[in-house]
Amino acid sequence: MMQTKASTMRALLREGIVVSPGIYDGLSARMVEKMGFKAAATGGSGFSNARLSQPDIGLLTLMENVDACRHLARSVSIPIMADAETGYGNPVTVFHAVEYFEEAGVVGMNIEDQVSPKRCGHMQGKELITPKEMAKKVEAAVKAKKDPDFIINARTDAIAVEGLDKAIARAKLYLSAGADMVFPDAVHSEEQIARFVDAVQAPVSINIGFGIRSRPTTPLMPVKRLAELGVARVTMARMLPSAAVMGMHKALELMRDHIETGTVHDRPDLLYGMEEITELMGYSKIADLEAQFLPDDQLERKYGSEKPDYVVRTRKS
């Protein structure tokens, strides 16, 4: 049987805790793979902030989300799980959402039990649909998937609204409806994580912040400790968007200082080099295809007599 990205993700989960940094564009997706992480996760907040320039308050549409995921999934070899927010409607809409996300090449998706329009899980003012309605969404999601390895991750935001015990009860109901994994968002302590994992006896996904500035609702914890508690998957949804914003802030501070004072700042520690960016984004693949398939006279017009190393190398091979 052919190994799929979904079956790869299942295998990773069987081996131990899976660390999935949050990605939101092509640069972040490729960087996660380059740095050796074995899986990644998209986030509604990252897409809403970066693509729409809006808060994460349910403005991202189903097809905008699917389209973004499709481009990311085809750009890397590692498995990506998607954030499908509330499933964009009722159980019938969820059924269609699963079909679209699976076709886009992701290996699974989160569905949450918030009222639509939803809001970021770490914001106040969240409202929940009934457990029964969410269970029906999970049933529809399971029915819709074609690949049995595609992962339905049922997220509950109940801890902040109803408390831990009701969040556990919801999670058990979602598991009985067919969910492969459950995701309690905004867990307040290590003790709550331990109680939740022990109670549900199923794969649990936890989202944590990264860095003191983030003031996360879920406390910062070592991944090794989460593994000891039995957590199956950990995501850092806001880490890379936050790091990118900080990097842009610092770079623009230096540019502003350059304009005002004339000081030239040489900061290779702050900026990726052009060669590094072209390597990260796979420019060499385009170069190799040119070398293989463009006629000699066209290569001559493009590059002259001094052909780049990659052209000479490929021609010889």
Q: Confirm if 118 and 85 have CB atoms less than 8 A apart.
A: yes
pLDDT in tens, 180-204: 999 999 898 999 999 999 999 999 9
Determine the Cα–Cα distance for residues 119 and 215; give it in Å rounded to an integer: 18
Computed on alpha carbons and rounded to an integer, the radius of gyration of the chain in Å comes to: 22
Hunting for tokens 């899980």 — which residue is that? Answer: 121
Determine the Cα–Cα distance for residues 187 and 193; give it in Å rounded to an integer: 7
pLDDT given at position 125: 64
Q: Confirm if 149 and 6 have CB atoms less than 8 A apart.
A: yes
pLDDT in tens, 303-314: 887 666 555 555
Determine the Cα–Cα distance for residues 186 and 307; give it in Å rounded to an integer: 56
pLDDT reading at 29 higher than 60:
yes
User: Could you state, in order of their start, the residue ranges of all structural domains in the chain?
Assistant: 5-244, 282-317
pLDDT given at position 216: 55
pLDDT reading at 2 higher than 80:
no
pLDDT in tens, 91-102: 999 999 999 999
Handedness of CA 164, 165, 166, 169 (dihedral sign): positive
CATH class as words, domain 5-244: alpha beta
Using 50, 70 and 90 to split pLDDT, how confident is the model at 34? very high
pLDDT reading at 211 higher than 70:
no
pLDDT given at position 296: 87
Reported for 70-74, long-range contacts at CB under 8 A and 24+ positions apart, including other chains, are: 70/104, 70/105, 71/26, 72/23, 72/25, 72/26, 72/29, 72/40, 72/42, 73/5, 73/104, 73/105, 73/106, 74/105
Q: Compute the mean pLDDT over every residue in the chain, rounded to the nearest whole number.
A: 91
Name residue 4's amino acid: T
pLDDT in tens, 60-76: 999 999 999 999 999 99
